[in-house]
Amino acid sequence: MKKFSFFISIIILGFTSRAEGQNSSLIKPGEIWPDTEGKHINAHGGGILHYKGTYYWFGESRLPRTEKDRTMYGVSCYSSTDLLNWKNEGLALRVINDTSSLLQPGCVIERPKVIYNKKTKKFVTWFHHELKGQGYRAAMTGVAASNNITGPYEYIRSLRPNAGVWPVNFPAGFKNISVNESDLKGKPAERIKAVKEGLYLRRDFTGGQMARDMTLFVDRNGKAYHIHSSEENMTLHFSELTDDYLDFTGIYYRVLPAESNEAPAIFFAKGKYYMFSSGTTGWKPNPARLAVADKMTGEWKSLGNPCRGTEEENRITFGSQSTFVLSPKDKKNIFIFMGDRWTPENLADSRYIWLPVEWENGVPVIKWYREWNIMELK
Ligand code: GAL
């Protein structure tokens, strides 16, 4: 069908593999992806920023099993002009070797995203930040900035956002409900209702809202949003950033309350905002979700699972979890789904699942290709 065949050239067997030469234009989801030095790219849970003709891929630099030096951990940066051949630009942000810093070795840095602020001319990164020795309890977001895209990024602070402010779309009648969490044990339906009505939002009102899986999105008017899993990962918060992108304005919206979305990845296409996300099963893949809205601030409506594969493939999003949607600069209305296939026992070996976003009856969908030709995106 014309609609689907419009940009994919599939599987040219015998084509030179990427490992063998620089000229291959094939993306091979799930395989080792060597950088220009031949090492598997280490930029997990990542995102891509296009700047002055070059793409910069930022992600979690996971310590390879053999690496004992924990100061080598942080946010990695790779550059490329063709989205295929990536040069390692080193660590853009690294942990700080000082036990008084929240960013000390042993902390967790996940899902970093970088945006460019045209007014301040600074590159700003936000990332999910968990503190050393505290598992995933801190649920904070951290921010760092740099005058150079590749870094070094200077760490500014980490916080739980939106302390002392209610979401714009939170009904006034829910602000004073009193529910005891222990009364909800063994009553899943009642718990969901209580979460929808702000159980955890009220609990964290004073200290700031939880911020775990996250992404950033700069809207067409330049306004940036920090999108994060909050309320014990059960509700997404879409929070406005200040004009310099370094802080929260205190204006935020709850999205899909009590629906347990993680791994948000947002894009604007054909006049609408779309969001891929996942459910909450840790490193294990689960069925992807798709939601749509007319405005960033909602209302967001679920469109179900965007995967169009076998039942098993759809159940595990082709063995991946979303992290970002890339729009190659010179190609209007063309998008690439970027996901991670996690290897929890050796996170550095986790693989990248890049697949073209296709359209089916006006809705973005994802199909599996063992390999596909990025040069033929059009
Ligand atoms: C996933 C999340 C990952 C990581 C992992 C830890 O749900 O998307 O970014 O935090 O949990 O178990």
Counted residue by residue, the chain has a size of 378
In 3D, which of 20, 42, 19, 48 has the Cα closest to residue 338? 48
- 3-class DSSP state for residue 325? strand
pLDDT of residue 16: 36
Kindly give the distance from the C-alpha atom of residue 298 to the centroid of ligand 1, in angstroms, as a whole number.
25
Q: CB of 111 closer than 6 A to ligand 1?
A: yes
CB-count exposure of residue 268 (10 Å: 0-12, 13-18, 19+)? middle
pLDDT given for residue 62 in this prediction: 95
What is the rounded average pLDDT for all residues in the chain? 93
Written as one letter, the residue type at 335 is: F
pLDDT on residue 378: 65
The pLDDT value given to residue 70 = 87
d(CA 311, CA 201): 36
pLDDT higher at 10 or 14: 10
Are 240 and 252 spatial neighbours (Cβ–Cβ below 8 Å)?
yes
Give the per-residue pLDDT at 15: 37
- CA 2 to each of CA 5, 33, 165, 360: distance values in angstroms, whole numbers, following the listed order: 5, 31, 49, 11
Ligand 1 pocket, 130 CB below 6 A? no
Residue 199: closest CA among 223, 244, 230, 227: 230
Give yes or no for residue 259 CB within 6 A of ligand 1: no
Query: Would you place residue 375 in the very low, low, confident or very high pLDDT band (cuts 50, 70, 90)?
Result: confident
Q: How many CA atoms lie within 13 A of 190 on its CB side?
A: 9
301-340 tens-digit pLDDT = 999 999 999 999 999 999 999 999 999 987 788 999 999 9
If one compares 145 and 1, the residue with the highest pLDDT of the two is 145
Give 7's pLDDT tier (boundaries 50, 70, 90).
Answer: very low
Q: How far apart are CA 248 and CA 315, in angstroms?
A: 36
Q: How confident is the model at residue 209 (pLDDT cuts 50, 70, 90)?
A: very high
Average of pLDDT values for 285-298?
98
Of the ranges 17-26, 113-122, 198-207, 300-309, which one carries the lowest mean pLDDT score?
A: 17-26
- Take residue 100 and report the two structure tokens written for it: 């008084």
Q: Is 262 in the pocket of ligand 1 (CB under 6 A)?
A: yes
* Per-residue pLDDT tens over the stretch 26-70: 999 999 999 999 999 999 999 999 999 999 999 999 998 888 888
Percent of the chain clearing pLDDT 70 (strictly above): 94
The secondary structure element, H or E, covering residue 199 is helix 199-203
How many A from CA of 213 to the centre of ligand 1?
A: 7
Spatial contact of 230 and 239, defined as CB atoms under 8 Å apart: no
pLDDT of residue 71: 84
Integer Cα distance of 258 and 197 in angstroms: 9
Q: Is the CB of 222 under 6 A from ligand 1?
A: no
Confidence (pLDDT) at 329? 80
pLDDT at 121 over 50: yes
